Amino acid sequence: MRKAISVFMTLFFASNLLLAGCGGGESGGGASKPEVKSAPSGGGKQAVKIGFIVKQPEEPWFQMEHKFARQAAEELGFELLELAGIDGEKALAQIDNLGVQKAAGFVICTPDVKLGPAIMSYAKRNNMKVIAVDDRFIGNDGQPMEDVHYLGIAARAIGEDVGKALYEQLQARGWPVEETGVCAVTYEELDTAKERTDGAITALIEAGFPESQIYKAPQKTTDVNGALQAVDILLVQQPDVKYWLVCGMNDSAVLGAVRSMAARGFTHEDVCGIGINGTDCIDELKKENPTGFYGSMLLQAKKHGYETAKMMYEWVTKDQEPPLDTRTRGILITRENFREVLKDQGYEI
């Protein structure tokens, strides 16, 4: 029963989104569907529909992906269905819902990478194409599903850039190494997250930072609060560390660490955190007084949102198959340069 209600709710929600997306469209009350409806491009044919499902719609990163995908829809003239799939049940229900709407395909950042095989079979039975974005599907054999089209970040290289930048800050600040610790907020269940923190840790060790002073704080949930709780535990375990370098899978992870440290009296003078995404730390960087959140590797949300939506559109309309594996890079933003870099990259702040 509960399932039926939730399917109904998602259908209801999606049809509202659909109406909002095409500015009018179908009449309500279950009336029969109009035979032909104008595409946003005014093409006289029914518009191609493409779904874009994200796992954490509250995270600015995913809002940016949706925003850029919308831009692709407006420019290319297809209908974008912006959906949330915050857990397995909801994500799979969204796929069936897209099938009912006759979508041709969808882009998805799955709430759980192990759903990969189920997502593919739901897509197949609804005759839709799939592109995985950000988080790569894991198959029943525990390996990445390399036959599913994927666009994600070059996670290890970006993590290494974080580690190198943290080490440079350690040197620039002249903190005594023996009094400094590295706090790595980890989420090792997710490959792209593990690659990022492993990359940062490896780069710090290669630069000469003692491995024995690198501490992992495993987060149970991938939001600010999940990181805060993980770091609260670490700080109790390591009361003697005077200076902290912080890395994590994304901005939320590092923000949680910085909040936990601030609650114990640490400031920007003894904490240096570098996040990843660059989209979820803008308010932090805008603060008048600096915090322990030093900077972030700004990722290319436009590529993740606009390009994946465009790839899907070209795939379903021109049979132009996208590459199986596309990776993007990041650039460091700090309080000093974030306004200028974000502007250059097409973000409004």
Residue 326 sits in the site that holds ligand FCA (CB under 6 A): no
Beta-carbon contacts of residue 200 (< 8 Å; ≥ 6 apart): 159, 160, 162, 163, 166, 184, 247
Closest distance between ligand FCA and the C-beta of residue 327, in Å? 11
Residue 59 or 79: which CB sits closer to ligand FCA?
Answer: 59
Residue 153 or 342: which CB sits closer to ligand FCA?
Answer: 153
Q: Give the H/E segment covering residue 244.
A: strand 243-248
Residue 234 or 298: which CB sits closer to ligand FCA?
Answer: 298
Residue 184 or 299: which CB sits closer to ligand FCA?
Answer: 299
Q: Which of 92, 95, 104, 109 binds ligand FCA (CB under 6 A)?
A: 109
Edge-to-edge strand ranges of the sheet holding 150-153: 79-84, 49-54, 105-108, 129-133, 150-153, 325-328
Residue 94 sits in the site that holds ligand FCA (CB under 6 A): no
Quick one: DSSP state of residue 101? T
* Residue 200, phi then psi, degrees to nearest 5: -65, -45
Furthest-apart CA pair in the chain: how many Å?
73
Residue 219 sits in the site that holds ligand FCA (CB under 6 A): no
Q: Across-strand partners of 107?
A: 52, 131
* Residue 30, phi then psi, degrees to nearest 5: 70, 20
Closest distance between ligand FCA and the C-beta of residue 180, in Å? 26
Closest distance between ligand FCA and the C-beta of residue 242, in Å? 30
* Residue 38, phi then psi, degrees to nearest 5: -70, 135
Residue 222 sits in the site that holds ligand FCA (CB under 6 A): yes
Residue 250 sits in the site that holds ligand FCA (CB under 6 A): yes
Closest distance between ligand FCA and the C-beta of residue 11, in Å? 26
Residue 289 tokens read as 């007084």
- CA separation for the pair 24, 124 (Å, rounded): 30
Closest distance between ligand FCA and the C-beta of residue 149, in Å? 16
Residue 327 tokens read as 């990776």
Contact positions with ligand FCA (CB under 6 A) in 173-192: 192
Residue 154 sits in the site that holds ligand FCA (CB under 6 A): no
Residue 291 or 296: which CB sits closer to ligand FCA?
Answer: 296
Q: Which of 79, 135, 198, 307 binds ligand FCA (CB under 6 A)?
A: 135
Among 334, 315, 313, residue whose Cα is nearest residue 324: 315
Contact positions with ligand FCA (CB under 6 A) in 251-270: none
Among 264, 251, 245, 259, residue whose Cα is nearest residue 201: 245
- CA separation for the pair 79, 32 (Å, rounded): 20
Instruction: Lay out the site mask for ligand FCA across 22-41 (x = CB under 6 A, - = otherwise).
Output: --------------------
Residue 134 or 161: which CB sits closer to ligand FCA?
Answer: 134
- CA separation for the pair 255, 259 (Å, rounded): 6
Closest distance between ligand FCA and the C-beta of residue 299, in Å? 6
Residue 36 tokens read as 């032909």
Q: Which of 197, 277, 296, 300 binds ligand FCA (CB under 6 A)?
A: 277
How many beta carbons lie within 10 A of that of residue 143, not counting itself?
Answer: 9
Instruction: Lay out the site mask for ligand FCA across 51-80 (x = CB under 6 A, - = otherwise).
Output: --------x-x-------------------
- The residue sitting closest to ligand FCA, measured at its beta carbon, is 134
User: Is 289 within 8 Å of 109 (Cβ atoms)?
Assistant: no
- CA separation for the pair 174, 169 (Å, rounded): 8
Binding site for ligand FCA (CB under 6 A): 59, 61, 109, 134-135, 153, 192, 222, 250, 276-277, 299
